[in-house]
Structure 1
Amino acid sequence: MSSAKRPKAILWLTIVAAPGALAIETALRKLLFPAEFEEVREFLEPTLTPFGWGLAAFAALGAALGLVVQRHVANRRLARLPDDATVDQRYREIFAVFLLTTAVPQIPALLSTFVFMFGASIWTVSTAIAFCSVGVVAQALRVPAMAENP
């Protein structure tokens, strides 16, 4: 698989998954939920915002932990390949690991969108998504280098 055939669309979809979830959630809430739901959100905001900040902290931790998990799992997967494996074979293995380990920062960020839907501050979900995005992009940037330099 040459670099021109590498799955760029899947890579970008993975990177924008959490921000996309927030956009879809917000659009669906505005279109489908009754106007009275905003009153419920205002009522729940003081209770849910601390949970949102907790999820943002977990997203930050997940961004760092995701890099560690990516390296560990990638090393295990590369060790199973034959010694004469090509860069493209290693890339496929590392990319599969990337798709798996990006869940580490994405899960708390996606959960924060649910907390936001029910009234948590936009700042909490924005912070969680920012940490998540940094973690996912950092993992994505490592994929080619890890494949070329096992």
Structure 2
Amino acid sequence: MTGRDAGARDTAAVVQVRAEGEVGEEALAYARSKIDAVVNRPGLPVVTGEVRIAKAAAHHAEHPWSAVADLRVGRSVVVVHAQEATSQEVTDRLQDRLRRQVERAAHGGNAAHRPVTPPWRGGQPAEAPAGRPDTRSA
């Protein structure tokens, strides 16, 4: 498949937005603005990669618009897919999914969701409540 190159932005994030098939300039501009809003935020590591927006040639397809983002956020790789009925819907869906995945990649996930190893399996013992001495030391 060949696609036309919509170019790269001269910012901290170098993400190319490419079109495959019959994608208009309006759809590309809208996608570019939404992707830039996600990847050019302060506090993110260097983001590189590409986003491909495609429209299926078959008119009978239920979701003819598809988008794939293949990005590198610092040392992590983020791949996001979306399919919708219109170019604006697919771009919005891609932006939502991309924002979540980029946050997870940039900040190493959420520490609150990581399992805690109990003390009897070698984990760190919990601190004693205030006012009561810790009698567990031996």
Normalised to the residue count of structure 2, the TM-score between the two structures is 0.25
Q: Which has the higher contact order (CA 8 A, sep 6+)?
A: 1
Which of the pair is proportionally richer in strand? 2
Which of these two proteins has the greater Rg computed from alpha carbons? 2
Which structure: greater helix fraction?
Answer: 1
